[in-house]
Structure 1
Amino acid sequence: MWCFLLCCVLWFPGLLCTLPAATHQPLHEYSDGDVIIGGLFPIHLQPNRTLPSSRHVSCNEYQFQVFLAAQMMIFAIKRVNQRRALPNVTLGYDVYDTCGDASLAMRMALNMSIDQLDPQCGLLPGRKPSSAPDPRVKAVIGEGSSEVSIAVARILTLSSIAQISYAATSELLSKKDKFPTFLRTVNSDVLQTKAMAELVKTFNWWTVGIVGSDDEYGKYGSDGLEDQFNAMDNVCVDFKFILPAHLDLSGSKAQKQLTELMDTIGNSTAEAIILFTRESNVKLVLEAAIQMNLNRTWIASDTWSNSSDIKELPGIEAIGPFFGIAFKSHIVEGFADYVSSMVEEKSSNPLWEYHKLNHPPCQSAPQEKLNCSLTASQCMETRCLVHYIFWDLSLNIYLAVEVIVNALSSLMKCDGEKCQRNTSFTAYELLNEIKNVNLTVNDTHIVFDDNGDPMLGYDIVAWNSPSSGTIGEYLPGGKINLPPSLVATMANVTFTAFNCSRTCPVGQELKKNGMKCCKHCIVCSDGYVSSEIGTQNCTKCKEGMPLFGIAFTLCVSCVLANLLQIFVCFTFSQNMGGWFRKVNQPPAVVAILFGVQLVLCSIWLAYFPPSLQREPHKKAFKLKCDPTSKALFGAVLSYVALLAVVSFLFAFKGKKLPDLYKNASFVTIGMLLVLVVWIIFIPVYLFGDGVYTEAIKAAAVLVSSHSMLCCHLVPKCYIMVFRKELNDEKAITDYIRNHFEQKGINVLKS
């Protein structure tokens, strides 16, 4: 395979020769050294070729921030050489501009895989007597996109060259059977999709829309997101829309696709729209959304979550808040000064002249951000360039260089003074050392798993919202940290802007009704009920709940025992003293009276249990308790009525007794209400057959219960809280003594 590729390159030298100096010529920067590290960066986009096989290649869309990212690699290598991290060993670099094109990047990777560099064309036959000479480049940093990284990985694998990407996140690259030499200093999209799913769950979004693209990054990312959401109970994917890998609006097909996407978003019920595609596609989508005034919540993937070009789109503040998943970011000390020094020594810096020829987009930046002139020429003359550094991307590149240096130090057995081994090692040996690196750089710990992936976590960023900037983080273990106030605000949303209910009134539940994800409140199904405001689901009606007779009997028995105690105490007669003492046993009275009802109800439930009947009524239905045995049902109610009548008589009789707390007076009112209610209710319930019969029964139960509670307990609570001086044994004794002395009865002091 290697011989075939080598022969092809030698036979068609024009494939690797590049155009001499031109305004949009792809950058190629080389510095010799004992060990050469390759670099691949999409400093431009969209290569132009006059013919498919033409050697004349130029590129459009200069990306100033990526140019600065490439300078980070050069800066890091120069710093390693200056601090002599590898004694007596000098690192060199071979940096290429891939123009974001897979075929062009493959040519450059092939060039770095050969053992000799031809200044004229890029390749010469190997001078060593070997069919597959060891490559001159021992490790490669790049490329940025997953699509290009996959293409490059297939070339570098042939020579066992370690490839460390600083931004390629596709989970496909984690498959070591296909890409055994690929590693990265950025998380895999597997972790990113988990972070996005956790963000959606934490912010209480129920419906989402996913926009991906037809490339390795967008396809695997959008599929992974859909899998994550499908595994959740309360999140629904309203739509998934796949764009071309490169959305070019010059064609009618792309225009049609973009219009279709805008219609899909406009007609969807999605609360949040996730754009999992490259920045160039996102820019076109959001420009169209701004034009159509599509206000949504937008979720950014790591490719554009910190893009200044996106944040500064005119009118972007009108289409809703943005939340995003971003790489962990730290400032690399000294790099800002290094970038500024490029301006000061511009006359002798070829990289600066290249940058100047390609026109940085400074004129679009806001004045307050740069604190410098807005014109391109003046911007190039000042220190405002540092404001365009992607610190997250730059950190990943810096980490890649440090990983390679750490592996070289281990491979050559360097101790700070000297290296015991020279540079005559193979790329395969270095690859194995890189896989085993365990390193901490600037508070960032990096170690590779078996798939060549680190576990670095993410920052959660936001803009166009009350909270802007970095607002939280996602940790590799699955925990997400966000401001509690923001989470509470999002969790309390009960109705979305897209006609989707969040909670329902009593008797209804949330159900999908026609639309794919949006739920609406509908009446509970037959046999189900929701009894609380704000519930989301109806629950099945429970059987055998019909026990009012037993509960109310217990309540009335307690009241009757209390009244009996008062009556016995204040109608005391020496002739009846023994009998009164036997009767004045409240626990025994309650037990006997309650026991009678318990026996009746037990017989009823055992032999003739009530059943739940569902009777249709227009568009609804009525749940009705059928007592089955009306005789036993009547006996239970009659016993309750008997106790109520006896209680009323005792209460009425005891109204004139010297009860300091006026229990009898209040209970008389309460029992009178109970009797009136049940006198009205019983004939209606037994002979009525209307839809409101059960409602009348419920009202009767509630009125009876509340009258007992209010008339029996509220006065006692009043005494305990507001008349504490009456809640005393001496006060009660004095009150009773005065009562009998007024009747001429002598009372002995104890």
Structure 2
Amino acid sequence: MQRADPGVCQRFTLWAYQWMQTMLFAIEEINQNPVLLPNLTLGYLAFDSCLAESTTVGAALAMVTGQEAVVVSGGASCRGGPQVPVIIGDARSSGSIAVARTLGIFDIPMVSYFASCACLSDRRKYPSFFRTVPSDAFQAKELARLLRLLGWSWIGVLYGDDDYGRYGVQLLLQELQGSDVCVAFSQVIPKTHDPRRIRHIVETIRLSTAKVVVLFAIAEDALPLLKEVVRQNISDRQWIGSEGWVTSPGASSPENLPALVGTLGFALRKAHIPGLRAFLLRIRPSGSTTHPILRDFWETLFECSLEEGTDLRPRCTGLEDIQATPNDYSDVTQLDVSYNVYKAVYAVAHAIQDMLACQPGQGPLENGSCPSVDNVIPKQLLHYLERVNFTTPLGDVVNFDVNGDPPASYDLINWQVNDRGTAELVTVGQYDSSNPPDQRLQLDLDKVVWGGGWTDKVPVSVCSAPCAPGTWKALQKGKPVCCFDCIACPDGEISNKTGAIECTRCPEQFWSNDRRTQCILKKEEFLSFSEPLGIILTVLSISGAVLTTIVLLTFILHRDTPLVRANNSELSFLLLLSLILCFLCAMCFMGRPLAWSCMLRHTLFGISFVVCISCILSKTVVVLVAFRATLPGRNIMRYFGPVQQRLGICLCTLVQVLVCILWLTLDPPLPSQNSATVRSATVVLECAARSLAGFAALLGYIGLLATVCFLLAFFARRLPDNFNEAKFITFSMLIFCAVWIAFVPAYVSSPGKYTVAVEIFAILASSYGLLLCIFVPKCYVILFQSQKNTKKNMMGNNNKGQ
């Protein structure tokens, strides 16, 4: 054992010395094994790398260039150049990379027990590198899966300034790409452990809203940072550790527990190696011949000096009891890295055993010859290391894949406090790459004690709380995708799951509920008989029909009176019948629109109003012609007798009937949904006119007749005699025209079912106008002023005129 450069090393690491002693234990165990490598003794060279790449490469070169004597088990020395066909180490990824690059070109194999950087799996760069520790590619992938599994979408990342930290975090971030996990901050721990820089990193942790911190570093880099975290009393974080530090005894010391309890991380599988503890405890310094590394170990462990007067420390006797003092060296409860050292030594031994078992003619050399074990050639040993496959004395299978990596297996470790107030590393889960994909990662949440004050439930670490159903995520400008605002879905769209990134539009016949979580059938809207407005219009319609019927009965009962006879009783009866139809047709516009009702309502409305206006027009013409016919030399009344009147009414009505027939034949009105209500919670059912030309012709013809009637009545309004009813027709036509002129803008601007209500109101208003203006004055005379219902009174004004 040698130290390559005594001036480089700054401090002695007890657990690293345990690793070296484990190698010696494995070598001694193999040399004493009568089955494995019989009649062959393994020797070794051991150098201290001092955690520096230059020292590590120098030590490796010293081993392979013959600068040191070979030390075999038992202390004997072999003269001549060293027989070092393989290197066990280095522990660090950076050191292993440096050595593998240097010695790889000479095909000298090396087997690392702790260098986990995924970059070392590159066979083109490192063709002779093997390891018994899993690649960080597995750890990074499972770390990302663990974060997603526990719902941590807002995390902080810390990593060491070396190949292990940089490559590990790079792989982690690659695994997190495209997921719902975002990085709130990312900080690198400097190798110099500058206090000011360390304080800045811890301040970043304290100010961040991320409650979960992933630390990917070796123990030497993690310890200074964790010490500052404890000093600043940051205890509200959940720490996630890599295998590089999560089982480090220094990190889980009692003084760190208040801040770091609940730490969760991946750790190498630990094992119990029988006999190792006794082997570790048997070493003793031997005076002046004590090896410098052993001297450093003893003085560091017992804080004393083996040489008198060298410093202010007390003198060591060399008889101190190692097991009496709790220390990292003699602690065999967490044999994870040491077990990898153990497997690495056995891998080399089994490769040499396979060389011994080679059968002539079946070997890897030219002509099938076998290599010689008297002088092991590194390149030949490399061939057998690639194919090694064995089971350790502890029952674990060891082999290497095409990249020199072993099967990956981890324990999930949780830091908990035991009854003694010290840290207990509890296994709460496992990962095994040999299992089926859905069974590789297993975690027992009931066993976990969480950090950050969330001891009884999984901590929450999110930038923004998940959006509830009915809302969608709107990213905040300039921030990661995990930071967003929850926006309510627009009308007609829904989101029925938590964290929706967009809302889904409801189908055409559906609409969103008030919470925007599901699509429901749209509420159908039409003017029904049961609603208040429908009831009012129905009452008005029936009342108008009843009132008109009463007037009709009144006229029938008094049909022989001068007033009824003078007002052309036949036309009056027909007019009243058509008014009854006008009132009743308003009810056809109410209720659910159906194909037959849509065609009936417009047809009945158009024809009944044309009959009504035609009767009024005929009465007006008769009044006007009757007065003109009384002038000397004029006898035109013979052209406007009852037959001609009936024929005129029929001709006027026939035109409207033809319009209706053409409309219903070519493009009839049918039930439809109002296109203006497509993006609405309700769908308005209506009768679509479809053919605007047909609807315009129907209304236009009624308007034409009403206009002609109004003009003729207006001209005849001042004709003498009580017989004249032209002035009443004028008022009725004035009301009729005013109602339908006002109907157009009201109809266009009314929403939904109120469009139909406006149309019904126009029908009823114009019908009431005709009834009240034309017939109420007559009924008043018939019923209450019967003395005026005489022929003399009817001709009163005419006599005065003569």
For the superposition of Structure 1 and Structure 2, which TM-score range results when normalised by the shorter chain? 0.5 to 0.7
Partners of 1:519 and 1:377 lie apart in 2 by 62
Equivalent residues of 2:523, 2:682 under 8 A apart: no
Q: Which residue of 2 aligns with 1:67?
A: 17
Q: Which residue matches 1:282?
A: 222
- Provide closer, same or farther for how the CA distance between residues 63 and 344 of structure 1 changes in structure 2, counting only shifts above 3 A: closer
Mapped partners of 1:497, 1:207: distance in 2: 5
The aligned counterpart of 2:568 is none
Aligned to 1:608: 672
Q: Partner of 1:241: helix, strand, or coil?
A: strand
- CA distance in 2 between counterparts of 1:495 and 1:435 reads 44
Q: How does 1:42-61 map to 2 (within 5 A)?
A: 57-61=7-11
Q: Distance in 1 between matches of 2:23 and 2:249?
A: 22
Shift of 1:630: 6.6
The answer to whether the aligner puts 1:382 opposite 2:324 as a matched pair is yes
Identify if the C-alpha distance between structure 1 residues 495 and 609 changes in structure 2 by more than 3 Å, giving closer, same or farther. Answer: farther
Distance 1:286 1:225 in 2: 21
Aligned residue type for 1:436: R
Equivalent residue for 1:543?
507
Q: Does 1:98 align with 2:42?
A: no
- Indicate which of 338, 345, 354 corresponds to 1:401: 345
Given the two structures, how large is their TM-score scaled by the length of structure 2?
Answer: 0.56
Of residues 187, 196, 203 in structure 2, which corresponds to 1:263? 203
Q: Which letter does structure 1 place at the counterpart of 2:684?
A: P
1:103 offset after TM fit, Å?
A: 0.6
1:470 aligns with 2:427: yes
**Residue deviations 1:645-701 (CA, integer Å, cap 9, x gap):** xxxxxxxxxxxxxxxxxxxxxxxxxxxxxxxxxxxxxx998559xxxxxxxxxxxxx
Q: Which of 193, 196, 207 is the aligned partner of 1:248?
A: 193
Is the contact between residue 113 and residue 156 of structure 1 (CA under 8 Å) also seen in structure 2? no
Summarize deviations over 1:130-154 as a string: whole Å, max 9, x none: xxxx972011100100001111112
| Matched position secondary structure for 1:439 | strand
- Whether contact under 8 Å (1:135, 1:427) holds in the other structure is no
CA contact (8 A) 2:410 2:430 kept: yes
* Conservation of the 8 A alpha-carbon contact between 1:203 and 1:487: no
1:629 matches 2:575: no
What is the CA-CA distance between 1:545 and the residue it aligns to? Answer: 3.0
Instruction: Quote how far apart the aligned CAs of 1:105 are.
Output: 1.1
Q: Does structure 1 retain, via aligned residues, the 8 Å contact 2:467–2:486?
A: no
| Residues 475 and 484, structure 2, Cα contact 8 Å, conserved in 1 | yes
Partner of residue 235, structure 1:
181
Structure 1 residues 156 and 470 mapped into 2: Cα distance closer, same or farther (>3 Å)? same
- Equivalent position to 2:476, from 499, 508, 513: 513
* Whole-angstrom distance in 2 between the partners of 1:472 and 1:606: 69
Partner residue of 2:366?
A: none
Cα distance in 2 for partners of 1:308, 1:473 equals 21
Q: Deviations over 1:209-246 (max 9, x none)?
A: 221233211111111100000132x22222222233x1
Q: 1:235 to 1:497 in 2, by over 3 A?
A: closer
Q: CA deviation at 1:343?
A: 5.6
Match of residue 144, structure 2, among 171, 177, 197 = 197
Q: Aligned ranges for residues 327-366 of structure 1 at < 5 Å? A: 327-342=268-283, 353-360=294-301
Q: Deviations over 1:259-311 (max 9, x none)?
A: 33223323333232111122122112222222333321111111101011001
1:222 aligns to 2:173 (yes or no) = no
| Whole-Å separation in 2 of the counterparts to 1:414 and 1:348 | 42
Larger radius of gyration: 2
Distance 1:61 1:279, change over 3 A: same
Partner residue, 2:267: 326
Q: For each residue in 1:368-417, what CA deviation from the matched residue of structure 2 results, as whole angstroms up to 9, or x when unmatched? A: xxxxxxx99965363855326650011100101111111101112289xx
Amino acid at match of 1:75: F
Q: How far apart in 1 are the matches of 2:284 and 2:380? A: 40
Aligned equivalents of 1:349, 1:335: Cα separation in 2: 22
Relative distance call for 1:610 and 1:309 in structure 2 (3 A) is farther
What SS is found at the alignment partner of 1:338? helix
**Equivalent residue number for residue 311 of structure 1:** 252
Other-structure match for 1:152: 99
**Aligned residues of 2:428 and 2:445 also touching (Cα < 8 A):** no
| Cα distance, 1:354–1:518 mapped onto 2, change above 3 Å | same
Deviation at 1:319, TM superposition (A): 4.9
Equivalent of 2:488 in 503, 524, 529: 524
TM-score normalised by structure 1 residue count? 0.59
| Cα pair 1:550 1:601 within 8 Å, conserved | no
Distance change (3 Å), C-alpha of 1:527 and 1:190 = farther
- Equivalent of residue 88 in structure 2, options 107, 117, 141: 141
Distance, in Å, in 2 between the alignment partners of 1:67 and 1:272 is 33
The alpha-carbon deviation at position 331 of structure 1 amounts to: 1.2
Question: Which residue is equivalent to 1:425?
Answer: 376
| In 1, Cα distance between equivalents of 2:323 and 2:340 | 28
Aligned to 1:411: 355
Please provide the CA RMSD for this pair.
4.5
Distance 1:329 1:112 in 2: 30
Q: 1:438 touches 1:447 (CA, 8 Å); kept in 2? A: yes
Report the CA distance shift for 1:608/1:347 in structure 2 as closer, same or farther (over 3 A). Answer: farther
Q: Which runs of 5+ in 1 are unaligned?
A: 1-26, 30-46, 48-54, 120-126, 129-133, 364-374, 552-595, 616-622, 633-682, 689-750
Give the residue type in structure 1 aligned to 2:126.
F
The Cα shift of 1:185 comes to: 0.4
Residues 182 and 481, structure 2, Cα contact 8 Å, conserved in 1: yes
Q: CA offsets per residue over residues 173-199 of structure 1, 9 Å max, x none?
A: 111211111110011111111121121
Is the 1:64–1:361 contact (alpha carbons within 8 Å) kept by the matching residues of 2? Answer: no
Measure, in 1, the Cα distance between the counterparts of 2:59 and 2:492.
Answer: 68
Matching residue's letter, 1:473: Q
CA distance in 2, matches of 1:150, 1:411: 28
Contact between 1:408 and 1:430, CA under 8 Å: does it hold in 2?
yes
Amino acid at match of 2:381: L
Partner Cα separation in structure 1 for residue 342 and residue 463 of structure 2: 48
User: Which residue, out of 108, 111, 129, partners 1:161?
Assistant: 108
Question: Contact 2:390–2:398 (CA<8 Å) still a contact in 1?
Answer: yes
CA offset digits 1:442-498 (Å, max 9, x no partner): 2322221111111131111011489951111112155211115469999x9899366
Q: Secondary structure at the match of 2:46?
A: strand
Evaluate the alpha carbon distance shift between residue 488 and residue 184 of structure 1 in structure 2; reply closer, same or farther with a 3 A threshold.
closer
